[in-house]
Amino acid sequence: MKYGRIIGTAIILGGIFFVNSALGGTLYKWVDEKGVVHFSDRKPESPKKMKGSIEERNVVDSQPVKKNQSPKREFGARSPIEYAINCTFTIKGSKSLGTGFFLSPDGFAVTCRHVIEGDFNQVALLNDQTKFPISVISMSRNHDLALILVMASSQPPHLSIRDPGTLIPGERLFAIGASAGLQATITDGVFTGFRKLKKTNGQVIQFSAPVNPGNSGGPLVDEKGRAVGVVSMKYRKRRGIPVSGVGFGVLSRHIKEEYGDYLPQE
């Protein structure tokens, strides 16, 4: 299959440490001498090299999901798109605003690399307005993707992933995210095709759903609520002419390639 090449102006919409994935127990928060915020299930080994005091948070164990139980019913969703909304959250930091979505009931989630790069004081704001700390697990070197852990107090709903190679031009798609700072905004459009851009490595998915700053990292889903991409950037101008309805996303198959070990077995 041949893929087109677009040349124009695209705009991005938008101390790594590992924390135990267990959701129960005590969580410790502190700021080190360099100003980096840490979250861990253990107290710092060198408390002298930190600013301020250690903050303790009690995290409650969540109940396991029963087999053969529909997650859409469990989380009160009336449609696949509403369920997909429940799987997303807003990422707020001192320098950034973006979106993420859950990949597993353990709290592992994905967003765009540019959303979490350089900002170590971010929280996940769920749609019920509860806030939870975020731990950055991995930032992809090949794609605008990052794996994070949201230390929520219960098991969240999570999205399933569809191979974007099965998409048909004209198929309806929905972008979900904190568009222009408005949490859980839904915009719809259609799948256009795959493109190659100068600012990306490999292919990206092109879609027509309107997106704005804050959408970065949010899911691009089909009518069944399955993620086919991660909203990453859009065209603002081309040859000096304003452009609308031309967005691009990281292909969902790259999530499986990069973070397949963190996905639940289907």
Q: What is the pLDDT, as a whole number, of residue 220?
A: 98
Can you give the chain as a three-state secondary structure string? CCCEECCCEEEECCCCCCCCCCCCEEEEEEEECCCCEEEECCCCCCCCCEEEEEEEEEECCCCCCCCCCCHHHHCCCCCHHHHHHHCEEEEECCCCEEEEEECCCCCEEEECHHHHCCCCCCEEECCCCCEEEEEEEEECCCCCCEEEEECCCCCCCCCCECCHHHCCCCCEEEEEEEECCEEEEEEEEEEEEEEECCCCCCEEEEECCCCCCCCCCCEEECCCCCEEEEEEEEEEEECCEECCCCEEEEECHHHHHHHHHHCCCC
In terms of Cβ atoms closer than 10 Å to its own Cβ (0-12, 13-18, 19+), residue 53 is: exposed
| Nearest Cα to Cα of residue 227 among 64, 109, 94, 90 | 109
- Give the max Cα distance, the chain: 59
Digit-by-digit pLDDT tens for the chain (266 residues) are 434 444 444 556 653 333 333 334 566 666 666 655 555 666 777 666 666 667 665 544 434 444 444 444 456 899 999 999 999 999 999 888 999 999 999 999 999 999 999 887 899 999 999 999 999 999 999 999 999 999 998 999 999 999 999 999 999 999 999 999 999 999 999 999 999 987 766 899 999 999 999 999 999 999 999 999 999 999 887 777 778 889 999 999 999 999 999 999 76
Active-site residue, selected from the candidate residues 106, 144, 179, 222: 144
Whole-number Å distance between alpha carbons of 24 and 19? 12
Q: What is the pLDDT, as a whole number, of residue 40?
A: 63
Q: What is the pLDDT, as a whole number, of residue 72?
A: 46
Residue 89's DSSP bridge partners are 100
Q: What is the pLDDT, as a whole number, of residue 54?
A: 74
160 in active site = no
Whole-number Å distance between alpha carbons of 206 and 266? 28
| Nearest Cα to Cα of residue 90 among 42, 134, 51 | 134
Active-site residue, selected from the candidate residues 96, 135, 208, 216: 216
**Contact between 109 and 101 (Cβ < 8 Å):** yes
144 in active site = yes
Domains for the chain: give ranges and CATH numbers: 4-13+159-260 (2.40.10.10), 25-61+68-158 (2.40.10.10)
143 in active site = no
Active-site residue, selected from the candidate residues 38, 114, 143, 158: 114
| Nearest Cα to Cα of residue 115 among 94, 86, 142 | 94
Our CA angle for 111, 116, 122, nearest 5°, is 105
Q: What is the pLDDT, as a whole number, of residue 128?
A: 93
